[in-house]
Amino acid sequence: MIIGIPKEIKESEHRVGMTPSGVQALIQNGHAVYVQNSAGQGSGHSDDDYLSVGAKLLKNIEEVYDISEMIIKVKEPLKSEYSLIKEGQIIYTYFHFASSLELTNAMVDSKSICIAYETVENYDRSLPLLTPMSEVAGRMAAQQGAKFLEKHQKGCGILLGGVPGVSPAKAIVLGGGVVGTQSAKMLAGLGADVTILDISLDRLRELDDIMPKNVKTKFSNQYNIKQEIQNAHLVIGAVLIAGAKAPNLITKNMLKDLRKGTVLVDVAVDQGGCFETTKPTTHSSPTYIIDDVLHYSVANMPGAVPMTSTEALTNATIAYAVEIANKGWKKACNENEPLKKGLNIINGDIVYKAVAEAFDLNYTELNI
């Protein structure tokens, strides 16, 4: 199979779809890999690194899309890429369709094969290709929250861990999955007073066993969320429903109950956000203020630490990429049920129910 790795063009996105080690694995399996010039530079991988493992370099993104049967990316195609995608071409990347009707319609119109990292799902319901970036984003959420609590950043001016004789900041984490767990670990390590809310009692019991003493657990419902956020300095939104739009757990009306300078970090922004007032921001302009509450909702948080996140992503995606390339997407998906769940759009049909439901579009039962 001919595989292409274009340079990411989303603002402040420094990751690349595959490290040289991943490219080497594909080439060792008999496939040809074309990498756009300087695609890996932001992640610390030079063109020579790719050439040394047998990849071929192409000058521009148009050439990469034109020659390739499968495109391996990090982020969803942007508007300038829509016309480059060919019918039947495999696009293997994070799509997060439920947050963008425009993207969904564009991929339907392209009649491509859209395999979304975020909906590949193991039998235990874990998300193997989303997990590494969720780990990065969860840890970054705590870092960014700590930074934007500073007064000159328009936060309330509190140190997360406090000091002897001064109380630490109160941090609320909505969701006890991968993002929430990683956020809570980092916040706890910085000395914050942390509360995690989740709707699963089994998960809360697990967290109660493994978390340090400064992390408490609480069942998540509208009443408890409203009570907890009133005294919070930092709230991290870490709620995920695979492939679907995130629920709004904090409404605009609830902002009036928050302290002035409270920081909201919405890691669920890729799926529409779990705060009603969330809108996607960028690393160059990451925050905005509504009702004296600072919002941070950068849609590609792990892009700021590409040396870590590109390697972590390739570690997770390469095995599936090799399987798709070796067998073709149909055979690979039929023989690998977790991978099959990554199919979102095929030849103009939406085959992932949550995507169709997000925009009330026609859903086609998967039959391959």
Catalytic residues: 96, 270
* CA 18-24-27 angle, 5° bins: 110
Q: Where are the alpha helices (DSSP H) in 122-177?
A: 131-148
The rounded distance, in Å, linking the Cα atoms of 270 and 120 is: 16
Residue 180 CB partners (closer than 8 Å, separation 6+) = 138, 173, 174, 196, 198, 236, 238
Tell me which residue has tokens 């909702």: 297
SS (H, E, C) 249-303: CECHHHHHHCCCCCEEEEHHHHHCCCECCCCCECCCCCEEEECCEEEECECCHHH
Integer Cα distance of 255 and 8 in angstroms: 35
Q: What is the dihedral of CA 232, 236, 240, 243, to 10 degrees?
A: 130
Tokens of 310: 């590109």
218-249 burial, b for 16+ CB within 10 Å, e for fewer? eebeeeebeebbeebbbbbbbbbebbbbbebb
The DSSP 8-state label assigned to residue 158 in this structure reads -
**Contact yes or no for 233/170 (Cβ under 8 A):** yes
CB-based contact 46:336 (threshold 8 Å): no
Give CA–CA dist 214/193, Å, rounded: 5
Amino acid letter at 368?
Answer: I
Token pair, residue 348, equals 């103009």
